[in-house]
Chains A and B, each alone.
Chain A
Amino acid sequence: MPFYIVQFLTGLASAASLFLVASGLSIIFGVTRIVNFAHGAFYMLGAYVAFTLTDRFSGALGFWGGIVVAALIIAAVGVLVEMALLRRIYHSPELFQLLATFGLTLMVEDLVVLIWGPSELLGRRAPGFKGAVDFFGQNIPSYDLFLIALGPIVLGILWLLFQRTRWGVLVRAATQDRDMVAALGVNQKWLFTSVFAVGVFLAALGGALQIPRDAVHHAMDLRIIVDVFVVVVIGGLGSIIGAFVAAVLVSELNAFGILIFPKISIILVFLVMAAVLIVRPWGLFGKQEGPARRTPGLTVNPWRTLTSGEQLAATAALIIAAALPLFSGNYALTIGSEIPRWRACR
Protein backbone atom coordinates (compact mmCIF):
# COMPACT_ATOMS: atom_id res chain seq x y z
CA MET A 1 0.00 0.00 0.00
CA PRO A 2 2.66 2.59 0.91
CA PHE A 3 4.21 1.87 -2.47
CA TYR A 4 1.06 2.92 -4.27
CA ILE A 5 0.79 6.07 -2.17
CA VAL A 6 4.36 6.96 -3.04
CA GLN A 7 3.62 6.31 -6.69
CA PHE A 8 0.59 8.55 -6.37
CA LEU A 9 2.69 11.32 -4.82
CA THR A 10 5.30 11.02 -7.55
CA GLY A 11 2.51 11.46 -10.07
CA LEU A 12 1.29 14.56 -8.26
CA ALA A 13 4.82 16.01 -8.30
CA SER A 14 5.09 15.52 -12.07
CA ALA A 15 1.69 17.15 -12.42
CA ALA A 16 3.08 20.44 -11.11
CA SER A 17 5.33 21.15 -14.09
CA LEU A 18 2.78 19.79 -16.52
CA PHE A 19 0.16 22.10 -15.03
CA LEU A 20 2.43 25.15 -15.30
CA VAL A 21 3.17 24.52 -18.96
CA ALA A 22 -0.41 23.57 -19.85
CA SER A 23 -1.98 26.54 -18.08
CA GLY A 24 0.37 28.83 -20.00
CA LEU A 25 -0.67 27.26 -23.29
CA SER A 26 -4.32 27.51 -22.30
CA ILE A 27 -4.10 31.18 -21.34
CA ILE A 28 -2.34 32.08 -24.58
CA PHE A 29 -4.86 30.19 -26.66
CA GLY A 30 -7.81 31.72 -24.81
CA VAL A 31 -6.92 35.27 -25.77
CA THR A 32 -4.87 35.05 -28.95
CA ARG A 33 -6.52 31.92 -30.41
CA ILE A 34 -3.04 30.74 -31.35
CA VAL A 35 -2.15 27.14 -30.66
CA ASN A 36 1.40 27.83 -29.64
CA PHE A 37 3.36 24.79 -30.74
CA ALA A 38 6.54 26.52 -29.58
CA HIS A 39 5.36 26.27 -26.00
CA GLY A 40 7.49 23.20 -25.40
CA ALA A 41 10.51 25.10 -26.71
CA PHE A 42 10.03 27.79 -24.08
CA TYR A 43 9.75 25.06 -21.45
CA MET A 44 13.07 23.62 -22.64
CA LEU A 45 14.76 27.04 -22.79
CA GLY A 46 13.60 27.67 -19.23
CA ALA A 47 15.32 24.48 -18.13
CA TYR A 48 18.58 25.22 -19.98
CA VAL A 49 18.85 28.83 -18.82
CA ALA A 50 18.02 27.77 -15.26
CA PHE A 51 20.72 25.09 -15.51
CA THR A 52 23.30 27.70 -16.51
CA LEU A 53 22.25 30.22 -13.88
CA THR A 54 22.02 27.76 -11.00
CA ASP A 55 25.32 26.28 -12.07
CA ARG A 56 27.03 29.68 -12.01
CA PHE A 57 25.51 31.19 -8.86
CA SER A 58 25.87 29.14 -5.71
CA GLY A 59 23.82 29.00 -2.55
CA ALA A 60 20.08 28.95 -1.97
CA LEU A 61 19.66 32.42 -3.42
CA GLY A 62 21.63 31.42 -6.49
CA PHE A 63 19.40 28.42 -7.02
CA TRP A 64 15.95 29.85 -6.38
CA GLY A 65 16.90 33.21 -7.83
CA GLY A 66 18.28 31.42 -10.88
CA ILE A 67 15.01 29.54 -11.38
CA VAL A 68 12.92 32.69 -11.25
CA VAL A 69 15.35 34.81 -13.29
CA ALA A 70 15.51 32.08 -15.95
CA ALA A 71 11.73 32.15 -16.27
CA LEU A 72 11.79 35.95 -16.49
CA ILE A 73 14.49 35.93 -19.17
CA ILE A 74 12.53 33.46 -21.26
CA ALA A 75 9.36 35.50 -20.75
CA ALA A 76 11.27 38.47 -22.20
CA VAL A 77 12.31 36.29 -25.15
CA GLY A 78 8.64 35.40 -25.49
CA VAL A 79 7.74 39.09 -25.69
CA LEU A 80 10.23 39.52 -28.54
CA VAL A 81 8.82 36.50 -30.35
CA GLU A 82 5.28 37.77 -29.92
CA MET A 83 6.14 41.21 -31.24
CA ALA A 84 8.29 40.02 -34.13
CA LEU A 85 6.40 36.91 -35.24
CA LEU A 86 2.97 36.34 -33.75
CA ARG A 87 1.62 39.87 -34.22
CA ARG A 88 1.84 39.29 -37.94
CA ILE A 89 -0.12 36.07 -37.93
CA TYR A 90 -3.00 36.62 -35.48
CA HIS A 91 -5.41 36.95 -38.39
CA SER A 92 -3.86 34.16 -40.44
CA PRO A 93 -5.35 30.71 -40.94
CA GLU A 94 -4.56 28.23 -38.14
CA LEU A 95 -2.28 26.19 -40.35
CA PHE A 96 0.07 29.16 -40.83
CA GLN A 97 0.15 29.74 -37.10
CA LEU A 98 0.94 26.11 -36.41
CA LEU A 99 3.67 26.10 -39.07
CA ALA A 100 5.25 29.27 -37.76
CA THR A 101 5.36 28.11 -34.15
CA PHE A 102 6.51 24.64 -35.17
CA GLY A 103 9.33 26.21 -37.20
CA LEU A 104 10.27 28.21 -34.15
CA THR A 105 10.47 25.00 -32.14
CA LEU A 106 12.91 23.43 -34.59
CA MET A 107 15.08 26.53 -34.63
CA VAL A 108 15.18 26.62 -30.84
CA GLU A 109 16.21 22.98 -30.72
CA ASP A 110 19.16 23.65 -33.01
CA LEU A 111 20.11 26.75 -31.06
CA VAL A 112 20.07 24.77 -27.84
CA VAL A 113 22.39 22.15 -29.31
CA LEU A 114 24.63 24.94 -30.57
CA ILE A 115 24.87 26.64 -27.18
CA TRP A 116 24.68 23.82 -24.65
CA GLY A 117 25.74 20.86 -26.77
CA PRO A 118 23.90 17.65 -27.56
CA SER A 119 24.49 15.72 -24.33
CA GLU A 120 22.26 15.56 -21.27
CA LEU A 121 22.98 17.96 -18.45
CA LEU A 122 22.40 17.14 -14.80
CA GLY A 123 21.23 20.06 -12.73
CA ARG A 124 21.81 20.94 -9.08
CA ARG A 125 19.60 19.61 -6.35
CA ALA A 126 17.41 22.19 -4.74
CA PRO A 127 18.90 23.69 -1.56
CA GLY A 128 16.72 22.77 1.40
CA PHE A 129 15.06 19.94 -0.51
CA LYS A 130 17.96 17.60 -1.05
CA GLY A 131 16.84 14.77 1.16
CA ALA A 132 13.97 12.37 1.20
CA VAL A 133 11.12 11.83 3.61
CA ASP A 134 10.58 8.36 4.98
CA PHE A 135 7.04 7.15 4.41
CA PHE A 136 6.38 3.68 5.87
CA GLY A 137 9.72 2.51 4.59
CA GLN A 138 9.42 4.19 1.22
CA ASN A 139 11.44 7.27 0.34
CA ILE A 140 9.80 10.34 -1.10
CA PRO A 141 12.17 13.09 -2.31
CA SER A 142 11.33 16.21 -0.34
CA TYR A 143 11.58 18.21 -3.57
CA ASP A 144 8.57 16.21 -4.82
CA LEU A 145 6.61 17.36 -1.79
CA PHE A 146 7.61 20.93 -2.60
CA LEU A 147 6.29 20.54 -6.15
CA ILE A 148 3.07 18.97 -4.88
CA ALA A 149 2.47 22.05 -2.74
CA LEU A 150 3.50 24.40 -5.53
CA GLY A 151 0.78 23.30 -7.99
CA PRO A 152 -2.21 24.49 -5.94
CA ILE A 153 -0.31 27.64 -4.93
CA VAL A 154 0.27 28.61 -8.56
CA LEU A 155 -3.34 27.74 -9.31
CA GLY A 156 -4.41 30.07 -6.50
CA ILE A 157 -2.15 32.88 -7.71
CA LEU A 158 -3.47 32.55 -11.24
CA TRP A 159 -7.03 32.55 -9.95
CA LEU A 160 -6.38 35.77 -8.03
CA LEU A 161 -4.65 37.28 -11.04
CA PHE A 162 -7.62 36.57 -13.30
CA GLN A 163 -10.41 37.33 -10.82
CA ARG A 164 -9.04 40.18 -8.79
CA THR A 165 -6.94 42.35 -11.08
CA ARG A 166 -7.95 44.71 -13.87
CA TRP A 167 -5.53 42.87 -16.15
CA GLY A 168 -7.31 39.61 -15.44
CA VAL A 169 -10.72 41.11 -16.15
CA LEU A 170 -9.45 42.50 -19.46
CA VAL A 171 -7.95 39.14 -20.40
CA ARG A 172 -11.18 37.31 -19.64
CA ALA A 173 -13.13 39.89 -21.64
CA ALA A 174 -10.73 39.59 -24.58
CA THR A 175 -11.06 35.80 -24.44
CA GLN A 176 -14.72 36.25 -25.31
CA ASP A 177 -14.71 39.27 -27.62
CA ARG A 178 -11.46 40.91 -28.68
CA ASP A 179 -13.03 43.52 -30.93
CA MET A 180 -15.39 44.74 -28.22
CA VAL A 181 -12.46 45.15 -25.84
CA ALA A 182 -10.77 47.36 -28.45
CA ALA A 183 -14.03 49.25 -28.95
CA LEU A 184 -13.89 50.10 -25.24
CA GLY A 185 -10.50 51.74 -25.68
CA VAL A 186 -8.14 48.95 -24.62
CA ASN A 187 -4.96 48.53 -26.65
CA GLN A 188 -5.09 44.87 -27.54
CA LYS A 189 -1.51 44.74 -28.77
CA TRP A 190 -0.09 45.12 -25.30
CA LEU A 191 -2.77 42.96 -23.77
CA PHE A 192 -1.81 40.15 -26.15
CA THR A 193 1.89 40.69 -25.51
CA SER A 194 1.41 40.57 -21.74
CA VAL A 195 -0.72 37.45 -21.99
CA PHE A 196 1.93 35.78 -24.08
CA ALA A 197 4.61 36.83 -21.59
CA VAL A 198 2.66 35.31 -18.70
CA GLY A 199 2.07 32.11 -20.63
CA VAL A 200 5.73 31.79 -21.58
CA PHE A 201 6.80 32.60 -18.02
CA LEU A 202 4.71 29.68 -16.77
CA ALA A 203 6.20 27.34 -19.37
CA ALA A 204 9.76 28.41 -18.58
CA LEU A 205 9.13 28.13 -14.84
CA GLY A 206 7.79 24.64 -15.41
CA GLY A 207 10.99 23.77 -17.23
CA ALA A 208 13.29 25.41 -14.71
CA LEU A 209 11.66 23.58 -11.81
CA GLN A 210 12.34 20.24 -13.51
CA ILE A 211 16.12 20.48 -13.31
CA PRO A 212 16.51 18.91 -9.84
CA ARG A 213 14.29 16.00 -10.93
CA ASP A 214 15.30 15.29 -14.49
CA ALA A 215 18.21 15.66 -16.84
CA VAL A 216 18.09 18.62 -19.22
CA HIS A 217 18.23 17.61 -22.87
CA HIS A 218 17.36 18.95 -26.28
CA ALA A 219 14.35 16.74 -26.96
CA MET A 220 12.46 17.60 -23.79
CA ASP A 221 10.31 20.12 -25.68
CA LEU A 222 8.68 17.53 -27.89
CA ARG A 223 8.37 15.11 -25.01
CA ILE A 224 6.35 17.55 -22.93
CA ILE A 225 4.33 19.15 -25.71
CA VAL A 226 2.45 15.93 -26.40
CA ASP A 227 1.43 15.57 -22.76
CA VAL A 228 0.58 19.26 -22.61
CA PHE A 229 -1.75 19.02 -25.57
CA VAL A 230 -3.42 15.99 -24.01
CA VAL A 231 -3.84 17.97 -20.79
CA VAL A 232 -5.44 21.00 -22.41
CA VAL A 233 -7.70 18.85 -24.54
CA ILE A 234 -8.89 16.84 -21.54
CA GLY A 235 -9.15 19.88 -19.27
CA GLY A 236 -10.70 22.13 -21.87
CA LEU A 237 -8.81 24.77 -23.83
CA GLY A 238 -8.89 28.06 -22.00
CA SER A 239 -9.69 26.63 -18.57
CA ILE A 240 -7.01 26.90 -15.89
CA ILE A 241 -8.88 24.72 -13.42
CA GLY A 242 -9.29 22.22 -16.23
CA ALA A 243 -5.55 22.31 -16.90
CA PHE A 244 -4.89 21.58 -13.23
CA VAL A 245 -7.29 18.67 -12.94
CA ALA A 246 -6.19 17.20 -16.26
CA ALA A 247 -2.50 17.59 -15.39
CA VAL A 248 -3.07 15.54 -12.23
CA LEU A 249 -5.10 13.00 -14.19
CA VAL A 250 -2.51 12.59 -16.94
CA SER A 251 0.40 12.40 -14.49
CA GLU A 252 -1.36 9.76 -12.41
CA LEU A 253 -2.21 7.80 -15.54
CA ASN A 254 1.46 7.89 -16.46
CA ALA A 255 2.48 6.89 -12.94
CA PHE A 256 0.05 4.00 -12.57
CA GLY A 257 -0.38 3.00 -16.18
CA ILE A 258 3.07 1.52 -16.23
CA LEU A 259 2.21 -0.61 -13.17
CA ILE A 260 -1.28 -1.72 -14.04
CA PHE A 261 -1.33 -1.88 -17.84
CA PRO A 262 2.35 -2.06 -18.72
CA LYS A 263 1.62 -3.08 -22.30
CA ILE A 264 -0.61 -0.15 -23.14
CA SER A 265 0.82 2.45 -20.79
CA ILE A 266 1.97 4.65 -23.64
CA ILE A 267 -1.45 4.93 -25.22
CA LEU A 268 -3.41 4.93 -21.98
CA VAL A 269 -3.64 8.74 -21.76
CA PHE A 270 -4.85 8.88 -25.35
CA LEU A 271 -7.57 6.35 -24.61
CA VAL A 272 -8.70 8.47 -21.69
CA MET A 273 -8.54 11.57 -23.86
CA ALA A 274 -10.70 9.90 -26.49
CA ALA A 275 -13.20 8.85 -23.81
CA VAL A 276 -13.37 12.40 -22.43
CA LEU A 277 -13.84 13.83 -25.91
CA ILE A 278 -16.74 11.49 -26.58
CA VAL A 279 -18.52 12.46 -23.37
CA ARG A 280 -17.50 16.12 -23.25
CA PRO A 281 -16.23 17.33 -26.62
CA TRP A 282 -14.99 20.62 -25.13
CA GLY A 283 -13.03 18.98 -22.34
CA LEU A 284 -13.88 18.51 -18.68
CA PHE A 285 -14.01 22.22 -17.87
CA GLY A 286 -14.18 23.68 -21.36
CA LYS A 287 -17.19 25.47 -22.70
CA GLN A 288 -18.75 25.05 -26.06
CA GLU A 289 -17.06 27.47 -28.37
CA GLY A 290 -19.56 30.19 -29.12
CA PRO A 291 -19.57 31.45 -32.65
CA ALA A 292 -16.45 33.60 -32.65
CA ARG A 293 -17.71 37.13 -32.42
CA ARG A 294 -16.00 38.94 -35.18
CA THR A 295 -16.90 42.29 -36.48
CA PRO A 296 -17.81 42.25 -40.15
CA GLY A 297 -15.40 44.32 -42.18
CA LEU A 298 -12.26 43.09 -40.46
CA THR A 299 -10.82 40.86 -43.10
CA VAL A 300 -8.40 37.99 -42.69
CA ASN A 301 -5.09 38.90 -44.25
CA PRO A 302 -2.71 35.93 -44.12
CA TRP A 303 0.59 37.75 -44.23
CA ARG A 304 1.31 41.42 -44.21
CA THR A 305 3.54 42.19 -47.15
CA LEU A 306 7.02 43.29 -46.15
CA THR A 307 7.92 46.95 -46.31
CA SER A 308 10.74 47.91 -48.66
CA GLY A 309 13.20 48.08 -45.75
CA GLU A 310 12.21 44.61 -44.59
CA GLN A 311 12.52 43.31 -48.15
CA LEU A 312 16.06 44.65 -48.29
CA ALA A 313 16.92 43.05 -44.96
CA ALA A 314 15.45 39.72 -46.05
CA THR A 315 17.39 39.83 -49.31
CA ALA A 316 20.59 40.65 -47.45
CA ALA A 317 20.03 37.74 -45.08
CA LEU A 318 19.49 35.42 -48.03
CA ILE A 319 22.69 36.59 -49.72
CA ILE A 320 24.69 36.11 -46.53
CA ALA A 321 23.22 32.65 -46.12
CA ALA A 322 24.02 31.78 -49.72
CA ALA A 323 27.58 33.03 -49.26
CA LEU A 324 28.04 30.95 -46.11
CA PRO A 325 30.14 28.23 -47.84
CA LEU A 326 32.71 30.91 -48.75
CA PHE A 327 33.71 31.81 -45.23
CA SER A 328 32.19 29.54 -42.59
CA GLY A 329 33.31 26.30 -41.08
CA ASN A 330 31.74 22.92 -41.57
CA TYR A 331 29.58 22.98 -38.46
CA ALA A 332 28.00 26.36 -39.15
CA LEU A 333 27.41 25.21 -42.71
CA THR A 334 25.56 22.11 -41.57
CA ILE A 335 23.41 24.05 -39.13
CA GLY A 336 22.88 26.77 -41.70
CA SER A 337 21.59 24.33 -44.25
CA GLU A 338 19.48 22.53 -41.68
CA ILE A 339 17.62 25.59 -40.48
CA PRO A 340 16.05 26.64 -43.79
CA ARG A 341 14.98 23.10 -44.48
CA TRP A 342 13.24 23.12 -41.12
CA ARG A 343 13.66 19.39 -41.11
CA ALA A 344 10.02 18.98 -41.82
CA CYS A 345 10.49 15.31 -42.55
CA ARG A 346 11.40 14.27 -39.06
Chain B
Amino acid sequence: MKLSVQDLNSHYGPAHILFDIALEVGDGEVVALLGRNGAGKSTTFRSIIGLVEQRSGRIVFEGKDVSHQPTHAIVSRGLGYVPEERRIFTELTVEENLEVGRQPRRPNAPHWTREKLFALFPNLGEMRNRPGGRMSGGEQQMLTIARTLMGNPSLVLLDEPSEGLSPKIVEQMVDAILIMKKEGVSIVVSEQNLHFAKLISDRAYIIERGRICFGGTMAELDARPDIRDAHLSL
Protein backbone atom coordinates (compact mmCIF):
# COMPACT_ATOMS: atom_id res chain seq x y z
CA MET B 1 0.00 0.00 0.00
CA LYS B 2 1.45 3.35 -1.07
CA LEU B 3 -1.12 5.68 0.46
CA SER B 4 -4.10 5.10 2.67
CA VAL B 5 -6.50 7.84 3.74
CA GLN B 6 -9.13 7.18 6.40
CA ASP B 7 -11.87 9.34 7.92
CA LEU B 8 -10.52 12.51 6.36
CA ASN B 9 -12.63 15.53 7.34
CA SER B 10 -11.74 19.08 6.34
CA HIS B 11 -13.13 22.52 7.05
CA TYR B 12 -12.60 25.96 5.56
CA GLY B 13 -13.54 28.16 8.48
CA PRO B 14 -17.12 27.24 9.41
CA ALA B 15 -17.74 25.25 6.22
CA HIS B 16 -17.42 21.49 6.41
CA ILE B 17 -15.95 20.49 3.03
CA LEU B 18 -14.84 16.86 3.22
CA PHE B 19 -16.77 14.10 5.00
CA ASP B 20 -15.03 10.87 6.02
CA ILE B 21 -12.98 10.53 2.85
CA ALA B 22 -11.34 7.12 2.53
CA LEU B 23 -9.12 6.09 -0.34
CA GLU B 24 -6.22 3.79 -1.04
CA VAL B 25 -3.48 3.74 -3.64
CA GLY B 26 -1.39 0.66 -4.34
CA ASP B 27 2.25 0.56 -5.44
CA GLY B 28 2.63 1.73 -9.03
CA GLU B 29 -1.09 2.30 -9.42
CA VAL B 30 -2.79 5.18 -11.25
CA VAL B 31 -6.03 6.10 -9.49
CA ALA B 32 -8.49 8.67 -10.81
CA LEU B 33 -10.45 10.93 -8.49
CA LEU B 34 -13.47 11.95 -10.52
CA GLY B 35 -16.02 14.59 -9.66
CA ARG B 36 -17.62 17.84 -10.69
CA ASN B 37 -16.23 21.28 -10.12
CA GLY B 38 -16.50 22.01 -6.41
CA ALA B 39 -17.02 18.38 -5.41
CA GLY B 40 -13.90 18.41 -3.21
CA LYS B 41 -11.16 16.99 -5.42
CA SER B 42 -8.65 19.77 -4.85
CA THR B 43 -9.47 20.01 -1.15
CA THR B 44 -8.80 16.29 -0.81
CA PHE B 45 -5.34 16.71 -2.31
CA ARG B 46 -4.54 19.79 -0.25
CA SER B 47 -5.70 18.04 2.90
CA ILE B 48 -3.49 15.02 2.21
CA ILE B 49 -0.33 17.13 2.02
CA GLY B 50 -1.32 19.35 4.94
CA LEU B 51 -2.15 22.57 3.12
CA VAL B 52 -5.53 22.64 4.85
CA GLU B 53 -5.10 23.41 8.51
CA GLN B 54 -8.47 22.28 9.78
CA ARG B 55 -8.50 18.60 9.01
CA SER B 56 -8.73 15.37 10.91
CA GLY B 57 -8.31 11.73 10.02
CA ARG B 58 -5.50 9.33 9.30
CA ILE B 59 -3.16 9.67 6.35
CA VAL B 60 -0.68 6.82 6.07
CA PHE B 61 2.03 7.15 3.45
CA GLU B 62 4.38 4.21 2.90
CA GLY B 63 3.42 2.78 6.27
CA LYS B 64 4.05 6.00 8.22
CA ASP B 65 1.25 8.07 9.72
CA VAL B 66 1.88 11.57 8.36
CA SER B 67 -1.40 13.14 9.53
CA HIS B 68 0.34 15.45 11.97
CA GLN B 69 3.36 16.39 9.92
CA PRO B 70 3.84 19.77 8.26
CA THR B 71 3.53 20.03 4.48
CA HIS B 72 7.23 20.15 3.71
CA ALA B 73 7.90 17.05 5.82
CA ILE B 74 5.14 15.06 4.09
CA VAL B 75 6.35 16.15 0.67
CA SER B 76 9.97 15.40 1.38
CA ARG B 77 8.99 11.83 2.26
CA GLY B 78 8.25 11.43 -1.44
CA LEU B 79 4.61 12.50 -1.73
CA GLY B 80 4.58 14.99 -4.60
CA TYR B 81 1.78 17.46 -5.35
CA VAL B 82 0.92 19.22 -8.61
CA PRO B 83 -1.65 21.96 -7.97
CA GLU B 84 -4.50 22.67 -10.36
CA GLU B 85 -3.56 26.33 -10.72
CA ARG B 86 -0.03 25.21 -11.64
CA ARG B 87 1.53 27.87 -9.43
CA ILE B 88 4.62 28.32 -11.55
CA PHE B 89 7.17 30.77 -10.14
CA THR B 90 6.69 33.29 -12.92
CA GLU B 91 9.86 35.29 -12.19
CA LEU B 92 12.03 32.19 -12.23
CA THR B 93 13.31 30.48 -15.37
CA VAL B 94 12.39 26.92 -16.31
CA GLU B 95 15.65 25.60 -14.84
CA GLU B 96 15.20 27.62 -11.65
CA ASN B 97 11.64 26.35 -11.25
CA LEU B 98 13.01 22.83 -11.48
CA GLU B 99 15.72 23.68 -8.95
CA VAL B 100 13.11 24.67 -6.36
CA GLY B 101 11.56 21.22 -6.71
CA ARG B 102 14.85 19.33 -6.43
CA GLN B 103 15.14 16.86 -3.54
CA PRO B 104 17.68 14.14 -2.82
CA ARG B 105 17.10 10.81 -4.56
CA ARG B 106 15.11 8.16 -2.78
CA PRO B 107 15.82 4.43 -2.80
CA ASN B 108 12.21 3.40 -3.42
CA ALA B 109 11.37 5.89 -6.14
CA PRO B 110 12.54 6.60 -9.70
CA HIS B 111 15.26 9.20 -9.97
CA TRP B 112 14.59 12.15 -12.27
CA THR B 113 17.22 14.48 -13.64
CA ARG B 114 16.81 17.64 -15.63
CA GLU B 115 17.86 15.84 -18.80
CA LYS B 116 15.41 13.00 -18.23
CA LEU B 117 12.60 15.51 -17.69
CA PHE B 118 13.55 17.46 -20.81
CA ALA B 119 13.29 14.17 -22.69
CA LEU B 120 9.83 13.61 -21.16
CA PHE B 121 8.72 17.16 -22.01
CA PRO B 122 10.81 18.23 -25.05
CA ASN B 123 9.15 21.68 -25.16
CA LEU B 124 10.73 22.54 -21.82
CA GLY B 125 14.21 21.64 -23.04
CA GLU B 126 13.90 24.29 -25.73
CA MET B 127 13.19 27.09 -23.24
CA ARG B 128 15.45 26.40 -20.28
CA ASN B 129 16.11 30.06 -19.57
CA ARG B 130 12.64 31.40 -20.22
CA PRO B 131 10.80 32.89 -17.22
CA GLY B 132 7.77 30.87 -16.20
CA GLY B 133 5.52 33.90 -16.70
CA ARG B 134 6.24 33.94 -20.42
CA MET B 135 5.13 30.38 -21.13
CA SER B 136 1.84 29.19 -22.56
CA GLY B 137 -0.66 27.29 -20.44
CA GLY B 138 0.41 23.95 -21.88
CA GLU B 139 4.09 24.63 -21.23
CA GLN B 140 3.32 25.73 -17.69
CA GLN B 141 1.40 22.52 -17.06
CA MET B 142 4.41 20.50 -18.22
CA LEU B 143 6.72 22.56 -16.04
CA THR B 144 4.62 22.16 -12.93
CA ILE B 145 4.67 18.37 -13.34
CA ALA B 146 8.40 18.32 -14.10
CA ARG B 147 9.06 20.52 -11.06
CA THR B 148 7.29 18.05 -8.78
CA LEU B 149 9.11 15.10 -10.37
CA MET B 150 12.44 16.81 -9.50
CA GLY B 151 11.59 15.85 -5.92
CA ASN B 152 11.84 12.16 -6.92
CA PRO B 153 8.41 11.35 -5.50
CA SER B 154 7.13 7.79 -5.22
CA LEU B 155 3.54 9.08 -5.35
CA VAL B 156 2.20 12.15 -7.16
CA LEU B 157 -1.13 13.91 -6.59
CA LEU B 158 -2.02 15.44 -9.98
CA ASP B 159 -4.84 17.98 -9.81
CA GLU B 160 -6.77 18.29 -13.10
CA PRO B 161 -3.78 18.11 -15.44
CA SER B 162 -5.88 18.33 -18.62
CA GLU B 163 -7.90 21.42 -17.69
CA GLY B 164 -7.73 24.23 -20.24
CA LEU B 165 -5.25 22.48 -22.52
CA SER B 166 -5.45 21.88 -26.25
CA PRO B 167 -6.26 18.32 -27.35
CA LYS B 168 -2.73 17.74 -28.59
CA ILE B 169 -1.17 18.82 -25.31
CA VAL B 170 -3.65 16.63 -23.43
CA GLU B 171 -2.39 13.71 -25.51
CA GLN B 172 1.17 14.60 -24.54
CA MET B 173 0.02 14.58 -20.91
CA VAL B 174 -1.39 11.08 -21.39
CA ASP B 175 1.97 9.91 -22.75
CA ALA B 176 3.89 11.60 -19.94
CA ILE B 177 1.68 10.09 -17.24
CA LEU B 178 2.00 6.63 -18.76
CA ILE B 179 5.79 7.01 -18.78
CA MET B 180 5.74 8.13 -15.15
CA LYS B 181 3.69 5.06 -14.35
CA LYS B 182 6.11 2.80 -16.22
CA GLU B 183 8.98 4.29 -14.24
CA GLY B 184 7.17 3.21 -11.09
CA VAL B 185 5.53 6.40 -9.82
CA SER B 186 2.14 5.88 -8.20
CA ILE B 187 -0.34 8.58 -9.26
CA VAL B 188 -3.63 9.97 -8.04
CA VAL B 189 -5.14 12.15 -10.74
CA SER B 190 -8.24 14.29 -10.32
CA GLU B 191 -10.22 14.77 -13.50
CA GLN B 192 -13.47 15.79 -15.11
CA ASN B 193 -12.50 14.47 -18.54
CA LEU B 194 -13.46 10.79 -18.50
CA HIS B 195 -11.82 10.11 -21.87
CA PHE B 196 -8.56 11.28 -20.38
CA ALA B 197 -9.03 9.39 -17.12
CA LYS B 198 -9.81 6.14 -18.94
CA LEU B 199 -6.59 6.30 -20.93
CA ILE B 200 -4.38 6.41 -17.84
CA SER B 201 -6.15 4.99 -14.79
CA ASP B 202 -6.41 1.55 -13.24
CA ARG B 203 -9.07 2.46 -10.71
CA ALA B 204 -11.36 5.36 -9.93
CA TYR B 205 -13.09 7.03 -7.03
CA ILE B 206 -16.02 9.39 -7.51
CA ILE B 207 -16.37 12.29 -5.12
CA GLU B 208 -19.60 14.27 -4.78
CA ARG B 209 -20.25 17.07 -2.27
CA GLY B 210 -17.23 16.08 -0.22
CA ARG B 211 -18.10 12.39 0.03
CA ILE B 212 -16.68 9.39 -1.80
CA CYS B 213 -19.65 7.72 -3.45
CA PHE B 214 -17.95 5.15 -5.66
CA GLY B 215 -14.72 3.22 -5.70
CA GLY B 216 -13.76 0.54 -8.20
CA THR B 217 -11.85 -0.42 -11.31
CA MET B 218 -12.39 1.46 -14.57
CA ALA B 219 -14.19 -1.62 -15.93
CA GLU B 220 -16.55 -1.58 -12.97
CA LEU B 221 -17.24 2.09 -13.56
CA ASP B 222 -17.92 1.41 -17.24
CA ALA B 223 -20.48 -1.20 -16.23
CA ARG B 224 -22.37 1.32 -14.08
CA PRO B 225 -23.67 4.11 -16.37
CA ASP B 226 -26.22 4.95 -13.65
CA ILE B 227 -23.42 6.04 -11.31
CA ARG B 228 -21.72 8.06 -14.02
CA ASP B 229 -24.95 9.83 -14.83
CA ALA B 230 -25.87 10.50 -11.22
CA HIS B 231 -22.57 11.89 -10.02
CA LEU B 232 -20.45 13.01 -12.90
CA SER B 233 -22.67 14.34 -15.67
CA LEU B 234 -20.10 12.95 -18.03
Contacts and interface: CB of A to CB of B under 8 A. Distances in A.
B225 interface: no
B71 interface: yes
B72 A188 contact: yes
B6 interface: no
Interface string B132-172: 00000000000000011001000000000000000000000
Interface stretch (A21-29, A67-75, A170-178): A170-178
B46 A184 contact: no
Residue among A169, A185, A295 with max Cβ neighbours from chain B (10 Å): A185
B75 A183 contact: yes
Given A172-B92, A173-B92, A182 B54 contact: no
B100 A298 contact: no
A296 interface: yes
Interface string B98-114: 01111100000000000
Contacts of A173: 89, 92, 96-97, 100
A166 B92 contact: no
A110 interface: no
A334 interface: no
Interface string B14-52: 000000000000000000000000000001001101011
B160 to A, nearest CB: 16
Residue among A176, A183, A188 with max Cβ neighbours from chain B (10 Å): A183
A238 to B, nearest CB: 10
A160 interface: no
A274 interface: no
Contact of A185 (B53, B76, B87): B76
Contacts of B13: 299
A297 interface: yes
Given A169-B99, A170-B100, A295-B51, A184 B92 contact: no
B178 to A, nearest CB: 24
B83 A183 contact: yes
Contact of B148 (A170, A179, A181, A184): A184
Contacts of B47: 297
A61 interface: no
A173 B151 CA distance: 16
B91 A182 contact: no
A184 B53 contact: no
Contacts of B83: 180, 183
Contact of A179 (B51, B90, B96, B151): B51
Residue among A172, A175, A186 with max Cβ neighbours from chain B (10 Å): A186
B81 interface: yes
Contacts of A187: 72-73, 76
Interface in A182-232: 182-188
A169 B72 contact: no
Q: Which secondary structure dominates chain A's binding surface?
A: helix
A293 interface: yes
B10 interface: yes
Nearest to A163: B96
Contact of A299 (B10, B54, B87, B99): B54
Contacts of A170: 100
Contacts of B10: 297
B91 A176 contact: yes
A182 B89 contact: no
Nearest to B144: A180
A188 B76 CA distance: 13
A173 B100 CA distance: 7
Nearest to A187: B72
Interface string B110-130: 000000000000000000000
Interface in B176-215: none
Nearest to B73: A187
A184 B70 CA distance: 12
Contacts of A188: 72
A104 B48 CA distance: 39
Contact of A297 (B12, B96, B100, B103): B12
Interface of B: 10, 12-13, 43, 46-47, 49, 51-54, 70-73, 75-76, 81, 83, 87, 89-92, 96-97, 99-103, 147-148, 151
Q: When A and B form their complex, which 4 residue pairs have the shortest distance between CB atoms, in order from nearest?
A: A297-B52, A185-B76, A185-B75, A180-B87
5 contacts: A183-B83, A184-B103, A184-B147, A187-B76, A296-B52
Given A169-B100, A173-B89, A185-B76, 15 more contacts: A172-B89, A172-B92, A172-B96, A173-B92, A176-B89, A180-B83, A180-B87, A182-B51, A182-B71, A184-B103, A184-B148, A185-B151, A187-B72, A187-B76, A297-B12
